[in-house]
A and B are shown apart, each in its own frame.
Chain A
């Protein structure tokens, strides 16, 4: 028995694929953002789909998989660098079952599946987080850091703390599904 997590029905927009996006979140460049389905964008989150590569045409800037949560007040911003004298933004790809805790800033290049990022973390530019990894609350992951699969990183600068159990994938999957299920609308009129 899990306590339901209520949200105001008027605050969230639910898409056909079950994504729930807060009206209090800032979604810049929505045409460049992909949400995989059953993904929740919490209030106060900022997603910068507008920061895209300078070449013309349509481009995916930020993609999130299924059963993801972008916590309250999170900032998701694509990484950038100057390469051969040209400044450019690079896309950010996030897998399924990824939770980003409230107040974290993410500029990673890729985040795998079943990844848990704690609250108030800073994930630097071009960080690569492999499957089933976990970042402890309040960690600072410097730019270009690679976080291997099934490892817990913590601290500032974040460093390897311990190996995660072999069942992490199943555990995270059931937790993220359960979170989505308990995230319920509350009708104000009732």
Chain B
């Protein structure tokens, strides 16, 4: 595992303290900094798991046409222009003309600029073409409209329409009741209510008997009679499908292996991300192999789940990567990266060796090579460097503290040595808890290209063999370097001989910054107070991963112990 620093979002638990790093829940609670948001109102980090999402616009991922929300539903969330997917491999299909007629002298004479009709859809990846299934077009434009008729008369689409008709009254009724009962202040909340009543109705309908389909009888329901269920106020008339399922399809009636094979076939085909809504279409496509209209993509706004303030608001234009509002955590929290000097030195050395070879490669070592070179061997002590970059226009004071690995209090009795040893964490991290400053961010500091990267001279000295003896012990713990808005602090990790697994620990980062907002209790009228800048402290958890421990060979341990 490569080294990394991930940031905590406390949304998954009621406690602000993250789970210990060795628990599986740890990986769900920590995220890369660049994927996180920051709500100024709540003064809190938010992640993609907890923000509420709203669609702000739809577009076709192929022709990039921005589809007005009003027509999205009628067009079944798919592009209504010339965009189709291959029913076989999901590649985008292209419109191709028929071969031009032969002029007689062997020369091909193009008659029109667009080519010869009939046109058909062709897959440049798997070579499927729509002529195979009898679909051709008079004109190379407006294909969706030309296909509309056959799409609309397809059995799956008719069945879907029928289902929609069947559920419409219930959806209308439930949305009415939910809008009257929902708390109007929270949009997200009422949306939630609305969707759950629909899902509840749908699942109730799904649990009902369908003629020709084996009865689903969970134990909890088996004792109940029909009268009981009809008492449900959401109850509605039984749905009668257009076709009797037994006669309509050879699938579904045989059961057993046939069904399993059919389902795995379906699964292979449902790789597209709208697969759930597209099951009907896909069922149709398996039978008829029709070109599939391309599902639309959406641009989304994101809101804070607690205060509903907007955190992300994209620009309207579909392909713009700019945002009207973009409150990302990277603009508030210091960016922390981790490096292990012994690895950096080895990678640099390997790269230099490669550059010296006459036909070598001058490239960064691959991840596998890095892993092999920069391993952490049990029983050794390694220094590490944490580099903190301040995104704020004011300097910050930072304090780092490593979360204790095993917080369980030792039992008062029964202090056998073996137990004590077992309880000991596999490694010990030393990191100074003394606060240090990180200078303010300034545009001028951005990427001074002539800046040398770290330890270049030292590295070259080692490469040239000038430095044979081990270096005199230099400071490894504490602040090592400050430049621009970056401060590098050193730490050390001591691995126990019996240590196994990953070197991973939780670290609390708290930083104090100058706040522009006067504190609520501060006297605004008092001039003596306004001279002292207000400061605020923000704290967040990170998980620091240094890598995987390489066990020592048993023999060596035996000799040493």
B554 to chain A, nearest CB (A): 32
Which one, B133-141, B342-350, B435-443, is touching chain A?
Answer: B342-350
- Contact between B319 and A3, CB atoms less than 8 A apart: no
Chain A residues near B62 (CB, 8 Å)? 146
Given A131-B319, A190-B460, A8 and B356 contact (CB-CB distance below 8 Å) = yes
Q: Among B59, B341, B361, which residue has its beta carbon within 8 angstroms of that of A43?
A: B361
Within 8 A of A (CB), among B429-471: 447, 449, 451, 453-456, 459-460, 464
Q: Does A70 contact B (CB under 8 A)?
A: no
Within 8 A of B (CB), among A116-173: 124, 130-132, 140, 142-146, 148-151, 156-157, 159-160, 165-171
- Contact between A167 and B330, CB atoms less than 8 A apart: yes
Given A1-B488, A8-B356, A184 and B321 contact (CB-CB distance below 8 Å) = no
Interface string of B250-288 (1 = CB under 8 A from A): 000000000000000000000111000000000000000
Within 8 A of A (CB), among B299-324: 312, 318-321, 323
- Contact between A170 and B362, CB atoms less than 8 A apart: no
Within 8 A of A (CB), among B334-380: 339, 341, 343-345, 347-348, 351-352, 354-356, 360-364
Give complex CA distance A6, B346 in Å. Answer: 12
- Contact between A84 and B113, CB atoms less than 8 A apart: yes
- Contact between B321 and A8, CB atoms less than 8 A apart: no
Q: Does B385 contact A (CB under 8 A)?
A: yes
Q: Does A111 contact B (CB under 8 A)?
A: no
Q: Among A8, A160, A180, which residue has its beta carbon within 8 angstroms of that of B362?
A: A8
Give complex CA distance A85, B94 in Å. Answer: 19
Chain A residues near B351 (CB, 8 Å)? 3-6
A84 to chain B, nearest CB (A): 6
Give complex CA distance A85, B488 in Å. Answer: 63
B205 to chain A, nearest CB (A): 32
A39 to chain B, nearest CB (A): 13
- Contact between B110 and A146, CB atoms less than 8 A apart: no
Given A130-B319, A168-B321, A4 and B387 contact (CB-CB distance below 8 Å) = no
Q: Among B321, B363, B451, which residue has its beta carbon within 8 angstroms of that of A72?
A: B363
Given A145-B92, A146-B92, A4 and B456 contact (CB-CB distance below 8 Å) = yes
Q: Does A13 contact B (CB under 8 A)?
A: no
- Contact between A5 and B364, CB atoms less than 8 A apart: yes
- Contact between B326 and A166, CB atoms less than 8 A apart: yes
Give complex CA distance A130, B64 in Å. Answer: 10
The residue of chain B having its C-beta at the shortest distance from the C-beta of A155 within the complex is: B271
Give complex CA distance A166, B324 in Å. Answer: 12
- Contact between A3 and B364, CB atoms less than 8 A apart: yes
Within 8 A of A (CB), among B447-501: 447, 449, 451, 453-456, 459-460, 464, 488
Q: Does A102 contact B (CB under 8 A)?
A: yes
Given A84-B113, A148-B297, A166-B328, A6 and B319 contact (CB-CB distance below 8 Å) = no
Interface string of A14-46 (1 = CB under 8 A from B): 000010001000000000000000100011000
Chain B residues near A180 (CB, 8 Å)? 449
Chain A residues near B318 (CB, 8 Å)? 148-149
A80 to chain B, nearest CB (A): 14
Q: List 9 A-B contacts (CB under 8 A).
A: A1-B385, A6-B354, A18-B449, A42-B363, A84-B113, A143-B94, A148-B64, A168-B34, A188-B356
18 other A-B residue contacts (CB within 8 Å) besides A168-B34, A181-B447: A1-B453, A5-B351, A5-B362, A7-B362, A8-B356, A42-B363, A43-B361, A85-B108, A142-B123, A144-B124, A160-B272, A160-B273, A166-B328, A167-B35, A167-B328, A168-B321, A181-B453, A188-B356
Closest A-B pairs by Cβ, 5 of them: A7-B362, A3-B347, A157-B91, A1-B339, A167-B34
Residues in A lying within 8 Å of B, measured CB to CB? 1-8, 11-12, 18, 22, 38, 42-43, 72, 84-85, 102, 114, 124, 130-132, 140, 142-146, 148-151, 156-157, 159-160, 165-171, 177, 180-182, 184, 186, 188, 190
